[in-house]
Amino acid sequence: MPENISISLIVGLGNPGTEYEHTRHNIGFMAIDRLAKAWDISLGKEKRFYGVFGEGRLSRQMLTGNKIRLLKPTTYMNASGQSVRACADWFKCSPSQILVIYDDMDLPLGKLRLRPSGSAGGHNGIKSMISHLGTQDFPRLRLGIGRANKTGDGASVTNHVLGGFSSAETKLLPDILQLATTTVDSILNDGLDKAMSLYNSQSVG
């Protein structure tokens, strides 16, 4: 595994419950489900971590013997950090070993952005993670969901992120989630810097 990256915990942010399952705010959950399927990792409820959790060893040559853990916090978005901190403490993961995947309204649908650190940018799930981890220095993969309109008051923003994808957007989701999966594979195999150079310029749709 490359020396400049040692991701051992991948977190997808979202809200629990069937009413939120297919909303834009839950694209982080969708990405974790896609990774679990691609890597044949079983996910199940884990009370210790206040979330849905799974782990496995990847079979690729560069990753043989390295265990990867997947987590979907079920604390609701605004308290995501509680779940992540509990899991990180249990496995003694440093923040730099935690990759978080979440939605971003500032990116158009089909675009992703990988960064080694950064502020919350108004995202309540990331605010909670920064608060509980005590740092903003953890890598993140932001998946664009676009904005409903250019201005966007509080109510319209909430309605947008908690709304479902349109039929046209839904058709793009498999390709978006595949691009996210490919990006994560690259992070693990090639390192964060190489993955950023390869995939921050790519988009779907």
Task: Report the DSSP pairing between strands 9-12 and 67-73.
Answer: parallel
**What is the distance between the alpha carbons of residues 28 and 24, in angstroms, rounded to a whole number?**
9
- Residue matched to tokens 């991701």: 7
Residues whose CB falls within 8 Å of the CB of residue 97, separated by 6 or more in sequence, listed in order: 6, 7, 8, 9
Q: What are phi and psi of 57, to 5 degrees?
A: -100, 130
- Residue matched to tokens 């650190």: 117
**What is the distance between the alpha carbons of residues 14 and 20, in angstroms, rounded to a whole number?**
8
The active-site residue out of 25, 123, 132, 160 is 25
Task: Report the DSSP pairing between strands 140-144 and 98-104.
Answer: parallel
| Residue 22 appears among annotated catalytic residues | no
| Residues that are catalytic | 25
